[in-house]
Structure 1
Amino acid sequence: MLGSLGHVPAIWARRAVHVKSTRRRRLATDVLNNTIWALENSKDLLTLTSIPGISIAVDVLLGVLRRVTRARSNADAVDALCREISKLITVIEDVRGQVETRLNRHKNGSKEQHDLMHSLARSSELRSRMEGLIRDLEELLAMAEPLGEGNLLVRVWRSRRDEESIGSIKEGMTNAVLRFQSAGQVSIQDLVIGALDRMEHVHEELRAEAERQQAYRDEQTMRALPSTDWAGFRSTSNVEKRIYLPGTREAVFKRLTEWAASDKPVCFLIGPAGMGKSTIASEFCRRHEEELGASFFFRRGDPTLGSTSQFFPTIADQLAQSHRELRPHIARAARQHLQNGRSQQMRYVVRDLIGEPLRILAANGRTPRIFVIVDGLDECNESASQPELVSECLRLLISCAIQYSAFLRLLITSRPDHTHIEDELLRDSPLNNMSTLLYLYDIEDREAVDRDITELIRTRICSTPIGQEWYSQDPSVVAKLTRRSQGLFAYARTAADFVSRSAGAAQMDHRLELLLTEGNRFGLGDLDQLYDMVLETSFPPPDVDPDTGEQLRLILAWIALCQDPDGISPREFEAIAGISVSISIPIINKLRSVVVFKRQETGDGVTTDELALSKFSSIHVTFRDYLVDRKRCGSGYHVDAEVMHARLATDCLNKMHRCLRVPGDNDDYAMWYWDAHVAQARPTPELVDLLREIFLTASDVQVRSNFFSNSHWCVRSPEVVQRLVLWVEAKIDRTLARAVQGCSIAAQPAEPTK
């Protein structure tokens, strides 16, 4: 009995080992079952990655696991195998996560998503990698086939062999995972990313190309609008207005800065002619250029910059250029707008091209502050002939600013002698609370103005070595000119240039004496008298012979009536008017106090040939106004606008009538502006005869005028044709008007780029 009791601990030990072994087998079975369950549940999700062969690989892997579950194997071996399988699943899951992240960048069901998934399915590198994995797994499946075969007794008897087989399968799984993970030193993740990157690159190129095509269509649409490139503050036509002297007009800019920071959307800056409003407006544009939406500088007498017809299309075009978030909305609106024609009433232009895009911008919540600057509203050509158009233009502008006051700011400059702004303030009383009204005379005291003018005169006189030396001998000359300027910046600038452009100190003294002389017929109070002085000093009537007088009269007519914002060059003037460069340049040089060349250098800076190609124009609009106003300009220099428009139109037509256009010459003044002169001309016999000769013989090929190889007016603008036809019908007769209309329809040459 005692002997039998001695065997109890051994029995308990064997039983404990048996229990422990059973528990580990159960644990191993649980691990296998959990692995199979996890793999089965993730199979559909993994298959969604579109990686070729992933479904087959998962099925083979499940087959291996199911074979292993039949074997009575060591739990450690099973656990080690499951860990290797988990590594493979982790790799596949990581790839799936990368694919899902890329797909989530795009809208569900989108073409981008479809193409990305398709790119994975078509990837030869991925297919090759997956085929290698499937081969490895199929070999492991073949190794697992004998596991757990036979009845329970046989499986128990073969458990040792099965355990070794599972170990071999585990080693094979380790190698399979390594090969799948990084065969050829390229990870499976890199392969997937590469395939996705290539497809996304294709999409980026397609998207970029689509954007380029859309941008081109938008650009063509915007070009179809009746807008101008000459209106903005950066335009070469506004060079003189940009000459701002740092440190001057501080009181004005202080008030403008206060307005810009306020919640009032509109500011009116009012001041008389010659007070530097345009320079202030230009400098304000420069200071706020990052927020500048559009700027329009009106110019009296200019058919483009002096009219409301192109004002709002130009504002819309500049808004589209300066604010990318507005461009697609404006371009789309322009396409729809143009379906109703290029020449529409202002209210429809504003509603379509400005109001609707601003509404969309406001609705999207993307509302950066936008400044719109309008300079010289009083210089609009319609101010006298059709004042209701200017009033409507102003009213529509203000309504936009008030409607979108959260982000739109409108600055308008004008002269006090035009009552459009005051009328609008009286008509719309709420506007008084939403606008700032600034009068230059109220902002700046005379002392501050004189300080600025003093600095302006001193700077311009001392801009040359001769002028600097002359000033150093008697600095009081600046104070004398400042007093005579009487607060007019235009006078100060013109007077300073009149003195500084003298040929030496003696002539500077003489010109200063003329400016300061009391009691003469010129007076010293306004700019007209200065212009009288410049002309009579340069061309004293007793010294002007008939030929020179005619040449001077024609040059003054071109200065006053030239339609090109940049002016006309002496060489082109020679081709049109027949006055040689050798004659015109000396005359123009004597007018340099009131005339500016685009290239200002003289002497070694610019040769005579270069100067002959440089365009010249009036230094200030007041000089052009002065020349065409008989009450302000003496009869010796007065330019009769209607008569001289007829002369200029006749010269332009004659040039085109007798000469074929040189191919590629798209900067021909006569070609671009003859019609503008005709529409403002008196129907002189010479002009009428020439128009008849050109248009009434247009259908006869034998005698057809060379004019039709030059002119592109009929393509440029339907408004030009209509204006010309109406003028011909009113001033000449209906027969010729019909001929002009017929030619505009029949002749459609390719439009050149100016």
Structure 2
Amino acid sequence: DTRTELLREISDWAEDPHGKFIFWLNGVAGTGKSTISRTVARTFEGKGQLGASFFFKRGEGDRGNVSKFFTTIASQLAIKRPQVAPFIARTIGNDPTIVNKCSHEQFQKLIIQPLKEAPLHSSPLIVVIDALDECEQEQDVRSLIRILEQGKDVTSVQLRIFVTSRPELPIRLGFIKMSKETHHDVVLHEIQQGTIRRDLALYLHHELAMIRREHNLLGRTQLPSNWPGDETIQKLVEMAIPLFIFAATVCRFIADTTWNPKKTLAAVLEHQHEESNLEKTYLPILHQQIAGQTRKRTKDRLVAEFREIVGTIITLATPLSIMSIAELLRVPEDDVEIRLDSLHSVLSIPVDKEKPVRLLHLSFHDFLVDTEKVAGEFWVDEHEMHGKVAIKCLELMSQPDRLKQDMCMVQAPGTLREDIDNQTIGIALPPEVQYACQYWVHHLKKSKKPLPYQGAVQVFLEKHFLHWLEAMSLIERTAESVDAVRTLRSLFSTKSGKNSDLQSFLLDAESFLLKNWGIIEHAPLQTYISALTFAPERSVIRRQFHTQKPRWVRLQPKVQDWDAFLQTLEGHS
């Protein structure tokens, strides 16, 4: 076992009735924080002391923000401590909208009050929060740290919070502002080098022995029983310190049966004099993509394919499958599969092509987009890639028979969203189209230079704005469409290159949405019926889409402009 001293320290902290409320384990990328979190959660689960856990992960939908954090913790607490469940249920019964309230109110009413009122034993109850730095909004991080501190006042149970993160500035500031009596800090990469060396050596000995046994079972040229040898393992240890992600990635790379393990190991050792640990970790894997290629044209093509396919994967807001990636990029599935075949050491690539491809560690993303271009020819210009993905999303949604009126063919205009089954929606809007609908504006914003794309945006909106709203209703994201339109107004509001027609469209679109979002949210086809019919005469949307209103509507209201009392969407005012 590795990390034994640290795990013992965490266990002692949890058991100590006078221990500090929060244990903050921080360390640079790749030092093994998430592995420790999973071990800690399993250990406390085995002791019956785990109250709840939440593993943040950027680009994984609700796991990348705090929107579901407190409700997830409350739900798990109700399961782990049934005595708490009636009090949480009472809170929800008294106020069903609590799940949409601010974070502070959710924490107090769904977690703190039930814990105080429930008849609990004064034994350890641990909440594990992993990778706080992967919470995407800096303000959410600051707020969460501030809110969690309030849990120290719970006395009915020995509540403890275990947090891991990188030492990012917002997190450091959050803990600096907190009383030192409240939190205990351990910096993972500052643990004694001797301890780290020992743990890395143990891990590498174990993993490489497994690789040797499995390779020899395949009936290939046998690896000797002492392979790779203590000297080689010590070289790998020195390359790895203090990054466990190096050891884990290298072992996955060597284990890949596509390659000869001796040659793969030799390729890794060639990079032992690189400056950074991440270069030592990832450059051997990248160089393997073009190994043996002597023609410049072939190399350039392979690198371009890598940057398009892998660049897209690391840029996505939430993971997509091989099938969906191929559809989004409009390339054959085989091209995606072939390009990913030799990247199992850095990506989780399911056998089922309909399941999402995921990064094994965020540091691979960080390495590829580093502005110092440490990835060399494999460097991905992150802002440019966001712009390319935004255009791919617009092109996908604009394909014939993608977004159209009544795309689920329900026909009856009064049909409620809740009465349309998810299978029907999934057929009309496959995952990649749902992704495009939800995130095309996100990618435009992340491109940092949206003005070159305003023409494509205008063409899309003037043809598909109402179709997009129907789709957003079907995937239950209507509220997000309000934010998206406001974001577009902000992106294209600069005087240089300003498009007045697009600005007029977006201003009217915002009014259209604020007036009608509630109707559209519950009945998608009302986008074309009541929403369009009751738009003012001067409405840009009404004029643009007049052909889409029902033929049986003969007379429309003669209101000139949007009234001043538009509905205000909570959280969007």
Higher relative contact order (CA 8 A, sep 6+): 2
2:508 is the counterpart of 1:748:
no
Please state whether the residue corresponding to 2:225 is helix, strand or coil: helix
Confirm or deny: 8 A CA contact 1:266 1:436 kept in the other structure. yes
Q: Secondary structure at the match of 1:273?
A: coil
Q: What does residue range 292-441 of structure 1 map to in structure 2 within 5 Å?
A: 292-339=50-97, 342=100, 344-361=101-118, 364=119, 369-383=124-138, 386=139, 389-404=140-155, 406-418=157-169, 420-421=171-172, 423-424=173-174, 426-429=176-179, 432-441=180-189
Shift of 1:589: 0.7
TM superposition shift of 1:626: 2.0
Alpha-carbon distance in 2 for matches of 1:544, 1:307: 41
**How far did residue 405 of structure 1 move?**
7.1
Determine helix, strand or coil for the equivalent of 2:163.
Answer: strand
| 1:739 paired residue number | 509
Query: In 2 relative to 1, CA 450–441 (structure 1 residues): closer, same or farther, beyond 3 Å?
Result: same
Name the CA distance, whole Å, in 2 between partners of 1:479 and 1:457.
9
Q: 1:466 aligns with which of 209, 212, 215?
A: 215
Residues 718-754 of structure 1 show CA distances to partners (whole Å, capped at 9, x for unaligned) of 2x23431221111133522542663672533679xxx
Q: Does 1:679 align with 2:442?
A: yes
Q: Are the counterparts in 2 of residues 303 and 563 from structure 1 also a CA contact under 8 Å?
A: yes
- 1:625-650 deviations in Å (ceiling 9; x for gaps): 22233225446323333332232233
Residue 568 of structure 2: aligned partner: none
Cα distance in 1 for partners of 2:126, 2:323 equals: 40
Displacement of 1:588 in angstroms is: 0.5
Higher helix share: 1
SS at match of 2:6: helix
Find the partner of 1:571 among 291, 312, 323. Answer: 323
Separation in 1 of the partners of 2:235 and 2:224? 12
Contact 2:239 2:272 in 1 (8 A): no
Question: Please, which of 458, 461, 466 is the counterpart of residue 695 of structure 1?
Answer: 461
Q: Distance in 1 between matches of 2:271 and 2:50?
A: 47
Which residue, 616, 627, 643 being the options, matches 2:368?
A: 627
Tell me, yes or no, if the aligned pair for 1:656 and 1:671 is still in contact at 8 Å.
Answer: no
- Give the equivalent residue in structure 2 for 1:285: 41
Q: For residues 233 and 87 of structure 2, what CA distance do their matches in structure 1 show?
A: 53
Distance 2:372 2:156 in 1: 45
**1:559 is paired with a residue of what secondary structure?**
helix
Give the drift of 1:580.
0.6
With structure 2 as the length reference, what TM-score do the two structures score?
Answer: 0.73
Indicate how the Cα distance of structure 1 residues 740 and 627 shifts in structure 2: closer, same or farther if over 3 A, else same.
farther
Deviation at 1:570, TM superposition (A): 1.7
What corresponds to 2:253 in structure 1? 498
Q: CA deviation at 1:504?
A: 4.5
1:670 and 2:433 aligned: yes
Question: Normalising to structure 1: TM-score of the pair?
Answer: 0.56
- Whether 1:248 and 2:2 are equivalent positions in the alignment is yes
CA 471–595 in structure 1, closer or farther in 2 if over 3 Å, else same: farther
Q: Deviations over 1:347-397 (max 9, x none)?
A: 223223222222322xx45666421111122232234xx4xx423311211
**Cα shift readout 1:235-286 (whole Å, capped 9, x = no counterpart):** xxxxxxxxxxxx2211111111111110223212222221111111111111
Residue aligned with 2:184, SS = strand
Asked if the contact 1:596–1:616 (Cα under 8 Å) also holds between the matched residues in 2, the reply is yes
Q: What is the number of residues matched between the two proteins?
A: 471
- Unpaired runs of 5+ in structure 2? 409-423, 493-502, 525-573
Higher mean C-alpha displacement, 346-355 vs 586-595? 346-355
Cα-to-partner distance string for 1:8-54 (whole Å, 9 max, x where unaligned)? xxxxxxxxxxxxxxxxxxxxxxxxxxxxxxxxxxxxxxxxxxxxxxx
Q: Partner residue of 2:566?
A: none
SS of residue paired to 2:62: coil
Residues 307 and 717 of structure 1: CA distance in aligned 2, closer, same or farther (over 3 Å): farther
Q: Deviations over 1:394-437 (max 9, x none)?
A: 1211221343473211111122354634x4554343xx334433
Task: State the shift of 1:689 in Å.
Answer: 4.1
- Measured in 2, the distance between the counterparts of 1:453 and 1:381 equals 31
Structure 1 distance, partners of 2:472, 2:178, is 47
Q: Are 2:290 and 1:539 equivalent residues in the alignment? A: yes
Check whether the contact 2:84–2:114 (CA below 8 A) recurs between aligned residues.
Answer: yes
Tell me the CA shift for residue 574 of structure 1. 1.8
Preserved CA contact (<8 Å) 2:51 2:127: yes
Alpha-carbon distance in structure 2 between the residues aligned to 1:736 and 1:594: 41
CA, structure 1 residues 575+255, in 2 after alignment: closer, same or farther (shift >3 Å)? Answer: same
Determine if contact 1:294/1:371 at 8 Å carries over to the other structure: yes
Question: C-alpha distance in 1, partners of 2:258/2:15?
Answer: 49
Q: Partners of 1:519 and 1:497 in 2: how far apart?
A: 18
Residue 299 of structure 1 aligns to a residue in which SS?
A: coil
- TM-superposed CA distance for 1:488, in Å, is 1.2
How many Å separate the matches in 2 of 1:717 and 1:438?
A: 43
> Is residue 486–residue 510 contact of structure 2 (8 Å, CA) maintained in 1?
no
Are the structure 2 counterparts of residues 633 and 441 from structure 1 closer, same or farther at C-alpha, using a change threshold of 3 Å?
closer
Per-residue deviation, 1:312 = 2.5
Question: Which of these residues, 266, 272, 290, is aligned with residue 513 of structure 1?
Answer: 266
CA distance in 1: counterparts of 2:442 and 2:61, whole angstroms: 10
1:454 and 2:201 are equivalent in the alignment: yes
Structure 1 residues 572-581 or 328-337, which shifts more? Answer: 328-337
Give the counterpart of 2:487 among 724, 727, 732: 727
CA distance in 1: counterparts of 2:509 and 2:154, whole angstroms: 48
Distance 1:365 1:531 in 2: 49
Counterparts of 1:452 and 1:580, CA distance in 2: 44
SS class of match (2:12): helix
Give, in whole Å, the separation in 1 of the partners of 2:216 and 2:207: 9
Q: Which residue of 2 aligns with 1:590?
A: 342
- Report the CA distance shift for 1:582/1:419 in structure 2 as closer, same or farther (over 3 A): closer
**Residue by residue, what CA displacement relative to the aligned partner does 1:197-253 show, whole Å, maximum 9, x if unpaired?**
xxxxxxxxxxxxxxxxxxxxxxxxxxxxxxxxxxxxxxxxxxxxxxxxxx2211111
Distance 1:359 1:539, change over 3 A: same
Q: Give the one of 362, 370, 387 matched to 1:646.
A: 387
Following TM superposition, by how much is the alpha carbon of 1:301 offset from its aligned partner in structure 2, in angstroms? 4.8
Aligned CA distance change for structure 1 residues 738 and 639 (closer, same or farther; 3 Å): farther
CA displacement at 1:712 relative to structure 2: 4.0
The percent of aligned pairs where both chains have the same amino acid is 22
Change in CA separation of 1:417 and 1:331 when aligned onto 2, cut-off 3 Å = same
Give 1:671 shift. Answer: 0.4
Q: How has the CA–CA distance of structure 1 residues 528 and 318 changed in structure 2, closer, same or farther, with 3 Å as cutoff?
A: farther
Q: Distance in 2 between matches of 1:274 and 1:453?
A: 13
- Larger Rg: 1 or 2? 1
Please give the secondary structure, in 2, of the residue aligned with 1:279.
Answer: helix
Secondary structure of 1:318's match? helix
Does 2:352 correspond to 1:617? no
Decide whether the 8 Å contact of 2:285 with 2:343 is kept in 1: yes
Match of 1:381, SS state, is coil
Give the distance between the partners of 2:29 and 2:309, measured in 1 at CA.
Answer: 25
The aligned amino acid for 2:362 is V
- Which residue type is aligned with residue 358 of structure 2? S
Contact 2:131 2:166 in 1 (8 A): yes
Whether the 8 Å CA contact 2:31–2:189 is kept in 1: the answer is no
- When the two chains are superposed, the root-mean-square deviation of aligned CA atoms in Å is 3.3
- Of the structure 1 ranges 538-547 and 366-375, higher mean CA displacement relative to structure 2 is found in 538-547
Query: What amino acid is aligned across from residue 143 of structure 2 in structure 1?
Result: E
